[in-house]
Amino acid sequence: MNIDYSSEVAAALKAGKPVVALESTIISHGFPYPKNVELAEEMEAVIRAQGAEPATIAIIAGRIKCGLSKDELLHLAKSSDVAKCSVRDLPVITATGKTGATTVASTAFVAAKAGIKVFATGGIGGVHKAEEGAGGFDVSADLLELSRTPVVVVAAGAKSILDLPATLEVLESYSVPVVGYKTKDFPAFHSRSSGLSLPASVDDMASLASIVDGHFKLGLTSGMLVCNPVPEEYAMSNEEVEVLVAAASAEAVKAGIKGAGLTPYILGALNRLSDGKTSEVNLSLALNNGRVAAQLAASLAV
Ligand code: PSU
Ligand code: MN
């Protein structure tokens, strides 16, 4: 696979320096402009502050990029002509010379090819709620990719717009280790706990690094999900999120939104209905994940 590396990422990989992959759908579809520029730049800064190199992944004019220039970041943040690009979209976007922002699935796919083991995001995609009127059957390709791509994703769990018990079940079926970092519960993105217990948890970085090292030494070909809850001071209560999510989901159903457009639509609605509060929470948890991912990358044996 042809990947265009930025000179910084190329140098870091060559020197064996810790590198953390970052997705770009969170920039193009996850936050409104100009909050998304702040997110992209601060994400890179927190990772550098830990002595690691950030590698934001995207498709720019048909080229797979690992490490973006400031102009490329700004383009993703501002343009309305950026496709949300999961793994199955890669051949179309690259062959047609289009620009696409990578999801968790496609970012992990490219990161693994680049030899990057650790990846920070906000929240992963999962199993959508399938009850009557909720948009119908929809399972994110993020889960399938985690089952077959050896990259460790640090996330604040998955959003309560999803069916969280079903999401955890699918991760179990797909043999993806799910480890809580300083939590025993599966975090629900805006709030610190979904009330669901995790199969494993650690309280310090050395223990986490040893599990990740063990995963790779076993030769497992799956990824791993590290669950890092939103910082206490930004966390929302489950009740507050529930009310917002119900209103945002009802809007999505009314507007007939389905498939790849659903998550971005609901994120936008939540931001609007909460007067920007959910985006502040999203920013804080993403930066917290960037910090932990950088510390993890620096703690790994290889
Ligand atoms: N969750 C968020 N913000 C996001 C996404 C998820 O809080 O921006 C994006 C990620 O890129 C994730 C994708 O990989 O949505 C999942 O989309 P889908 O459910 O269509 O696979
Ligand atoms: Mn989907």
116 near 21, Cβ under 8 Å?
A: yes
13-50 residue pLDDT tens: 999 999 999 999 999 999 999 999 999 999 999 999 99
Per-residue CA distances from 147 to 70, 80, 223 (Å): 33, 32, 6
211-239 residue pLDDT tens: 999 999 999 999 999 999 999 999 999 99
Chain centroid offset of residue 70 CA:
21
181-222 residue pLDDT tens: 999 999 999 999 999 999 999 999 999 999 999 999 999 999
Domain segments of the chain as ranges: 4-301
Q: Helix (H, G, I), strand (E, B), or coil: what is residue 47?
A: helix
Tell me, what's the pLDDT at 220?
97
**Which contiguous run of DSSP H or E holds residue 72?**
helix 70-78
The model's confidence at residue 283, banded by pLDDT at 50, 70 and 90, is: very high
The model's confidence at residue 258, banded by pLDDT at 50, 70 and 90, is: confident
Any idea which residues carry the catalytic annotation?
Answer: 23, 159
Is residue 122 in contact with ligand 1, taking CB distance under 6 Å? yes
Identify the sign of the CA torsion 121, 215, 165, 126: positive
Per-residue CA distances from 73 to 28, 39, 216, 266 (Å): 9, 11, 32, 23
144-166 residue pLDDT tens: 999 999 999 999 999 988 999 99
Is residue 30 in contact with ligand 1, taking CB distance under 6 Å? yes
Query: What's the CA-to-centroid distance between 218 and ligand 1, angstroms?
Result: 29
CA distance 143 to 235: 25
Q: Which of 23, 25, 85, 283 to mutate to test the pocket of ligand 1 (most atoms within 8 A of CB)?
A: 25
Q: Is the pLDDT of residue 130 over 70?
A: yes
Owner of token pair 């601060």: 42
Average pLDDT of the residues in 37-66: 98
Question: CA 197, 294, 169: angle at the middle one, nearest 5?
Answer: 25
Tell me, what's the pLDDT at 229?
98
Q: Does domain 4-301 have CATH number 3.40.50.620?
A: no
Query: What's the CA-to-centroid distance between 84 and ligand 1, angstroms?
Result: 9
Q: Which ligand is nearest to the CA of 130?
A: 2
CA distance 296 to 22: 14
Query: What's the CA-to-centroid distance between 162 and ligand 2, angstroms?
Result: 11
Average pLDDT of the residues in 259-288: 94
Is residue 89 in contact with ligand 1, taking CB distance under 6 Å? no
CA distance 28 to 44: 16
168 near 211, Cβ under 8 Å?
A: no
Tell me, what's the pLDDT at 137?
87
Report residues near ion ligand 2: CB below 5 Å: 138
Quick one: CA torsion of 300, 153, 66, 113, rounded to 10 degrees? 80
What integer best gives the mean pLDDT of the chain?
Answer: 96
